[in-house]
Structure 1
Amino acid sequence: MKDLRETQGTMAYLQPSQTLAITAKADALKAAGENVCAMGAGQPDFDTPEHIKQAAIKALTDGKTKYTPSSGIMELRKAIVDKLAVDNGIKCEPAQVIVSPGAKFSGFAAIAALCGPGDEVIIPAPFWLSYPEMVKAAGATSVILNTKAENNFEVDLAELEATITPRTKLLILNTPSNPTGAVYSRKTIEGIAALALKYNFMVMSDEIYEKLVYDAEYPHCSIASLSPEMAEQTITINGFSKAYSMPGWRLGYLAAPMWLAKRIAAFQSHSTSNPTSFAQYGAIAALTGPQEPVEEMRKAFAARRDLVYDLVSAIPGIKTIRPQGAFYLFFNVASFGLGATDFVNRLLDEKKVAAVPGDAFGDSQSVRISYACSDAVIREACSRMAEFCAGLK
């Protein structure tokens, strides 16, 4: 008789998310009464703006609880088209927009619809930990392109060109970056676009943190806005979790060339069916309603960025860059003689500070912390971390 446990499905080799694992461990310590400084999870600590919640409540009250079109209701897709045109300089039609249960699923669906066995996907490292797993699930091959802190963790264009092969189908671009907080310069993005057009590969541009940029000299640039030709080779990923503090709502979207959008729509129709009905009405309110809450959150994150960077960069032995976006600080701990996983586990066990090891992001010598928490938590966590690092010397 066959052993069912030994049979391998297409996703048998996927690894669980380390960010969720470290959060679960920190939550267990909290439940046991420990005073944990949680800096592992990547979600805003602010509440969802009230007008967004009220729009969803009204949708529930009005009976908007049935199935919707699998790609999202037309009112929301039109609002996304307008948003992309005004905020990003991207021109598209509603049929090119697919609303999904989270930007993570948007990326998964896009890769699944585009890539397969024999295809190569270039992923600059450090990378968001789910990208390689998404590629693996599609049966394609990840090609990791390392970046350097001294280059703001942006790809070196000469190294990128040397990495491209006839099998290159896709490059994943994430700016502002999770985990580094780096915002790519327009010059680098233009260079990536030139290579994509020259060698004929797609770019999946994950722009979920686009609203969270903090320095005038590092504005966000959408690669699909550079030219109509580049728009035809770009999948733009975005959502509502970060800018509007709606992580639990699970609502994201993508804009893609028509030929690919049709594939993705078909895939979604056989997987998730449709995004949650009433959540979509909240998303409409997010895009079309007052944007002041977004700016208030951005300013708060900017101040926290300054605080956490000043405190962590002052710890002897730690090396880091000043992040320009998102809400993460990524720092190198190689000088302590510990790998990132050992560093993070000991930091949590000994000082009750939750962070995420860089192994998950393709860098075994670095650690990511999230500053999506109060100033008090940031100060306490950094104080504990300074004590911890001093004990390692």
Structure 2
Amino acid sequence: MPQLNSALTRLKPSAISDVFDRAAQLRANGQKLFDFSVGEPDFDTPAAICEAGIKAINDGKTRYTAVDGTPELKQAIAAKFRRDNGLDFALDQIVVASGAKPLLAVAIQAVAGPGDEVILPTPCWTSHVGMIDLCGAEAKLVECGMDSGFKITPNQLRAVLTAKTRLLLLCSPSNPTGAVYSADELAALGKVLADFPGVWVLSDDLYEHIVFAPNIFATLAEVAPELRDRILTVNGVSKSYAMTGWRIGYAAGPTQWVNAIRKVFSQSNGGPCSISQAASVEALNGPQDFLETWRATYQRRRDLAVSILAQAPGLELATPEGAFYIFPNCAKLLGKETPQGRKIETSSDFCTLLLEQHNVVTVPGAGFFCDPYFRISIATSEDVIQDGCQRIVDAINTLRTAHCVKN
């Protein structure tokens, strides 16, 4: 019998996929669900962006493009970095792909391999770990709890950097916690990294435009210019512009690193969709005023969800600073029993209770390498947030102290 690639044995089943599968079964059975699992905006792509895509079709822009993106889109990306981040990149320092996910995966593959370590603060997006596993490197997970705002500290970073370290991966605003690194916090990490010149840095900035006042977005290449020759900044149009299905991500950074990504793509990927690239030019160059409207909507939803969840006895949560997630700690609920006598031992048990007994879809913290937490997405209507979060509170109020059996 032919064998599969042994690297696949390093991949773990996704807890997020399991939640999606269970929720799909309940929907198929006619259940109404309060879904807090989906990590994508619920807004429609703005009309002007859609019209740019339609115009591209009508103008016949339906052929192959360069494997790393059209010159027009690269120019728009360069302008975006200058406008929003004070960063100047030549066009050959920019690469476009069919989504940020393959960019992140290939960027890691380009600098890390067997025997190397990649530092990854947790909680983290589950695919970050899978990407590291597939290239044969070791994910060095650094636990960053609620007490540190779910952020790695300079002391933690210095303690885990070794001769084997090839890459630090930072995500801000964070999926799943909503944590946002301030400029000062990033600068402090940059001072540590300055002492380790052999370490690359990958900055995942996908939620850049979803940052709640008084927090202000900053990115490492912006605040630590002395490190720019080893920082790759990855972004995209999916989260900020409600373009998840258009599949356009982009990255900018050192020519050596970008050329390595381009080299891999030349053998493994076709160019990104020409229509999506034309629409993305409009997204980046066109009016940006709706971004503030959407941000304010997310902040209002966050405040509503936090105000309701704060009424749940035993549930601890930090108010997220950005993105559209809340990441409560349910440790004080462990050991309790449901009215049916089922004991809650993990966040997965609690999320199962919410789904099967209260029709609320959440994602257990194990999916983000952090237990006992769970993730709630607020990328949904205020009505769903109001009713769904109240159901979570009600579910917690039904839990009772487990009975002890005495001999």
- Measured in 1, the distance between the counterparts of 2:86 and 2:135 equals 31
Pick from 200, 203, 214: which aligns with 2:201? Answer: 203
Q: Could you say which residue in structure 2 is the equivalent of 1:222?
A: 219
The answer as to 2:18 corresponding to 1:21 is yes
The answer as to 2:40 corresponding to 1:43 is yes
- Measured in 2, the distance between the counterparts of 1:119 and 1:149 equals 29
Letter in structure 1 aligned against 2:204: D
- Measured in 2, the distance between the counterparts of 1:381 and 1:75 equals 44
Count of aligned residue pairs for this structure pair: 389
Q: Could you say which residue in structure 2 is the equivalent of 1:232?
A: 229
Alignment of 1:96-175 (within 5 A): 96-175=93-172
Question: Are 2:364 and 2:374, in contact at CA under 8 Å, matched by a contact in 1?
Answer: yes
- Partner of 2:327: helix, strand, or coil? strand
Pick from 245, 255, 258: which aligns with 1:258? Answer: 255
- Partner of 1:199: helix, strand, or coil? coil
Larger Rg: 2
Question: Are 2:309 and 2:390, in contact at CA under 8 Å, matched by a contact in 1?
Answer: no
Alignment of 1:1-393 (within 5 A): 3-4=1-2, 6-200=3-197, 201-216=199-214, 218-337=215-334, 338-393=345-400
- Measured in 1, the distance between the counterparts of 2:315 and 2:84 equals 37
Change in 2 beyond 3 A, CA 1:332/1:227: closer
- Measured in 2, the distance between the counterparts of 1:213 and 1:18 equals 27
Question: Are 2:78 and 2:91, in contact at CA under 8 Å, matched by a contact in 1?
Answer: yes
Structure 1 length as normaliser, TM-score?
Answer: 0.96
Question: Are 2:187 and 2:224, in contact at CA under 8 Å, matched by a contact in 1?
Answer: no
- Measured in 2, the distance between the counterparts of 1:197 and 1:11 equals 35
- Partner of 1:232: helix, strand, or coil? helix
Structure 2 length as normaliser, TM-score?
Answer: 0.93
Superposition deviation, residue 16 in structure 1: 4.4
Superposition deviation, residue 24 in structure 1: 3.5
- Measured in 2, the distance between the counterparts of 1:25 and 1:292 equals 38
Change in 2 beyond 3 A, CA 1:272/1:9: farther
- Partner of 1:33: helix, strand, or coil? coil
- Measured in 1, the distance between the counterparts of 2:4 and 2:284 equals 46
Superposition deviation, residue 119 in structure 1: 0.9
Q: Could you say which residue in structure 1 is the equivalent of 2:341?
A: none
Letter in structure 2 aligned against 1:300: T
Q: Percent identity?
A: 37
Question: Are 1:176 and 1:207, in contact at CA under 8 Å, matched by a contact in 2?
Answer: yes
- Partner of 1:10: helix, strand, or coil? helix
Letter in structure 2 aligned against 1:108: A
- Measured in 1, the distance between the counterparts of 2:99 and 2:60 equals 23
Letter in structure 1 aligned against 2:201: V
Superposition deviation, residue 27 in structure 1: 2.9
- Measured in 1, the distance between the counterparts of 2:231 and 2:318 equals 29
- Measured in 2, the distance between the counterparts of 1:347 and 1:138 equals 36
Superposition deviation, residue 353 in structure 1: 0.5
Change in 2 beyond 3 A, CA 1:20/1:7: closer
Letter in structure 2 aligned against 1:155: I
Q: Which runs of 5+ in 1 are unaligned?
A: none
